Chains A and B, each alone.
Chain A
Amino acid sequence: MDITIKGLEHSYSKGTPFERKALSNINLSIPSGTFQTIIGHTGSGKSTLIQHLNGLLKPTQGSIQIGDFKIQAGVKEKRLKALRKHVGIVFQYPEHQLFEETIEKDILFGPLNFGVPEEEAKKRAARLIQQVGLDESYLSRSPFDLSGGQMRRVAIAGVLAMKPSILILDEPTAGLDPRGRREIMDLFYRLHEEEGLTTILVTHSMEDAARFSDDILIMEKGGIALQGGPETIFSNPEALKKLSLDVPETVQFIHRLEERFTKNLPHSVFTLEAAVDAALSILQKGEENS
């Protein structure tokens, strides 16, 4: 499902002394199947923006078109529930949403709400619990006996069980250890590829942004500051610095190699492995020359 956002504006607590404009004049289009990353400092409006994508927040101005659902300022959309079935959100610290007696029941909560037959939902739960890195014996346990990282995985399984076609991730790896981070991000990317999902990732990690994104959106003060593919965005470190953001370490490394050896290297180097390859290529060439 394609997403088109036109002239979106949102103010919190409208009509009170606490009124605060969180988004202004956002125009954005995310074609189906894109991996879209959103970066920005705390309070830049990222979370506000994504909550519009399944009608949790209503625009105060403008419109959002998702597939054939349209959310418009001042118009009541009656099919919100149908929309939410297609748009899954993994919120920040999703483990806070767990509530059932057993993990299986918690994973089933979403699918059953959306009318998936119980048999089918249970099958999904059994498959997903393994996909998120736990085994089936966990299904009958209480979610409150788990460690924080495991709870996170269960909560993520709960969202994936709805089989959304658009998956929104709001800093899904915040507070996890490095290995957990990698595993979770790899899982999301694999799903994105295999199921042809449209994925929208909100993150602070430049490394993740560089590795996975088709398109990066940088937000500041409720507006769009920069937008483009990872190569475009990270080839301009000055613009990022102005927004007090960093380029990924691999990109920094490549830039320094270029300076040191006055050679041009490919700028699409975002993973550690690719950076190692690039460095090796310089070394090997150096050996050939000598």
Chain B
Amino acid sequence: MQNIIIGQYVPGQSFIHKLDPRAKLITAFLFVIIVFLANNWITYALLGAFTLLAIFVSRLPLRYIYNGLKPILLVIILTFLLHVFLTKEGPLLFDWGFLEIYEGGVKQGVFISLRLLFLIMITSLLTLTTTPIDITVGIETLLGPMKKVGLPVHEFALMMSIALRFIPTLLEETEKIMKAQSARGAQFSSGPIKERLKSIVPLLVPLFVSAFKRAEDLAMAMEARGYRGGEGRTSIRLLKWSGKDTTLFVILLLLCISLLLLRS
């Protein structure tokens, strides 16, 4: 339960923590795009340097980054192996009968795995250094112009913040129900697979019941306090663009230009 990193904010006072969430969101978004510009060793090295620098500046314990990577590690390894064995380019490196490894394959494998690695690292850095509420406010302001074309931006943002807000609550609830059922002899973490699958029902039913009840209560409480959607609603959190954010954009721009110049 405790390894789940999505939406898990780690408090801190670093440069990255203090950035405007809009700046971080745009950076993460642009980074996802410019990652695809890299196509040789030097450009990948640049991206790697940017990622490592960001992690270093955030002063997060490396363990957190690693925890975020763990679930995706298998995918990365699998991608690597697929490329190594299936890409047939460049000089032949090994030949064990039916298994042939080409230099192009290894290169491709390393590049694609690095690409995935950088993507995951930068996006988890975003959620690790920004509170869910800040992310939501950021998204809401960034998507603000879309309101004009009738997109219910506020409602989306609200849904997101409620969902994020209730992740820990639901986890806590899950843990509580698991404990109550374990005390009645249910087995969640040991025993034969069949038993463990069956034990999902005593966990899910109470969880759903309480989630629905909670949703109803929340809706009622919001209405009781006069909530009526986004119309004319202002936010208590005012985002402030500072020099730091501009610095980040300059760095990003430099990175982008270097990538364009250095790619082959």
Q: Is A94 an interface residue (CB 8 A)?
A: yes
Complex Cα–Cα for A58 and B60 (A): 28
Bound CA–CA A97/B201 (angstroms) = 11
- Tell me, in angstroms, the Cα distance from A55 to B209 when the chains sit together: 27
How far, in angstroms, from A51 to B206 measured CA to CA in the complex?
Answer: 20
A97/B185 in contact, CB under 8 A:
no
Complex partner residue of B183 from A16, A56, A96, A144, CB under 8 angstroms: A56
CA distance in complex: A56, B175 (Å): 10
User: Who on chain B is nearest to A88 by CB?
Assistant: B183
B252 at the A interface (CB under 8 A): no
Binary interface profile of A, 109-133, with partner B (CB < 8 Å = 1, else 0)?
1100110000000000000000000
Q: How far is the CA of A96 from the CA of B174 in the complex (A)?
A: 11
Residues of A within 8 A of B244 (CB): none
Chain A neighbourhood of B201, CB < 8 A? 99
Encoded as 1 (CB less than 8 Å from any A CB) or 0, chain B from 7 to 41 comes to 00011000000000000000000000000000000
Whole-angstrom CA separation of A54 from B202 in the bound complex: 19
Contact residues in A for B209 (Cβ distance below 8 Å): 96, 144
B205 within 8 A of A: yes
Q: Do the beta carbons of A113 and B206 come within 8 Å of each other?
A: no
Q: Is A56 a contact partner of B202 (Cβ separation < 8 A)?
A: no
Interface string of A157-184 (1 = CB under 8 A from B): 0110010000000000000000000000
Residue B77 at the chain A interface, CB threshold 8 Å: no
A91 at the interface (CB under 8 A from B): yes
Question: Chain A's nearest CB lies how many Å from the CB of B134?
Answer: 18
Number of chain A residues whose Cβ lies closer than 8 Å to a Cβ of chain B: 26
Whether A17 lies near B185 (C-beta < 8 A) is no
Per the bound structure, the CA–CA distance linking A51 and B175 in Å amounts to: 12
Given known A17-B10, A96-B206, A98-B206, contact A110–B176 (CB-CB < 8 A): no
With A16-B2, A113-B185 as known contacts, state yes or no: A99 contacts B206, CB within 8 Å.
Answer: yes
Minimum distance in angstroms from B133 CB to a CB of chain A: 18
> Which B171-191 residues have a C-beta within 8 angstroms of A?
173, 176-177, 179-187
Mark contacts of A40-55 with chain B using CB atoms, 8 A cut-off: 1 yes-contact digit, 0 otherwise. Answer: 0000000000010010
- Which of B173, B182, B206 is in CB contact (< 8 Å) with A84? B182
Which residues of chain A from 223 to 262 have a CB within 8 Å of any chain B CB? none
Instruction: Please pick, from B10, B183, B205, the residue contacting A91 in the complex, using a CB distance under 8 A.
Output: B183
| Across-interface contacts of A85 in B (CB, < 8 A) | 185
| Bound CA span A16–B185, Å | 30
Query: Is A81 part of the binding interface, using a Cβ–Cβ cutoff of 8 Å?
Result: yes
Contacts A13-B2, A16-B2 given; does A97 touch B182 at CB 8 Å:
no
Q: How far is the CB of A229 from chain B (nearest CB, A)?
A: 29
The chain A residue sitting closest to B181, CB to CB, is: A97
Are B180 and A97 in contact (CB-based, < 8 A)? yes
Q: Specify which of B177, B184, B206 is in contact with A110 (CB 8 Å cutoff).
A: B184
Determine which residue in B11, B61, B184 has the highest number of CB atoms from chain A within 10 A of its CB, and name it. B184
The complex places the Cα of A216 from the Cα of B11 at a distance, in Å, of 40
Contact between chains at A96 and B184 (CB < 8 Å): no
Residue of B nearest to A109 (CB): B184
- Given known pairs A13-B2, A98-B206, A99-B206, the reply for A113 and B179 (CB within 8 Å) is no
**A-chain residues with CB within 8 Å of residue B169 when the two chains form the complex:** none
A177 CB, min distance to chain B CBs, angstroms: 20
Closest to A92 in B: B176
A110 and B177 alpha carbons, distance in the complex (Å): 14
- Residues from chain B with a CB closer than 8 A to the CB of A217 are none
- Are B210 and A96 in touch, CB under 8 angstroms? yes
- Please provide the chain A residues from 61 to 110 with a CB less than 8 Å away from any CB of chain B in the complex: 81, 84-85, 87-89, 91, 94, 96-99, 109-110
- Assess whether B185 is in contact with A110, with CB atoms less than 8 Å apart: yes
CB-CB under 8 A for A56 and B2, given A17-B10, A144-B209, A162-B185: no
From A13, A16, A17, A159, B184 is in contact (CB under 8 Å) with A159
In the A-B complex, list the 6 residue pairs whose CB atoms are closest, starting with the nearest.
Answer: A113-B185, A99-B205, A110-B184, A97-B180, A89-B183, A99-B202
A17-B10, A113-B184 known; 18 new pairs, CB 8 Å cut-off, are: A54-B183, A84-B182, A84-B183, A88-B183, A94-B180, A96-B176, A96-B180, A96-B206, A97-B181, A98-B206, A99-B205, A109-B181, A109-B185, A109-B186, A113-B185, A114-B185, A144-B209, A159-B184
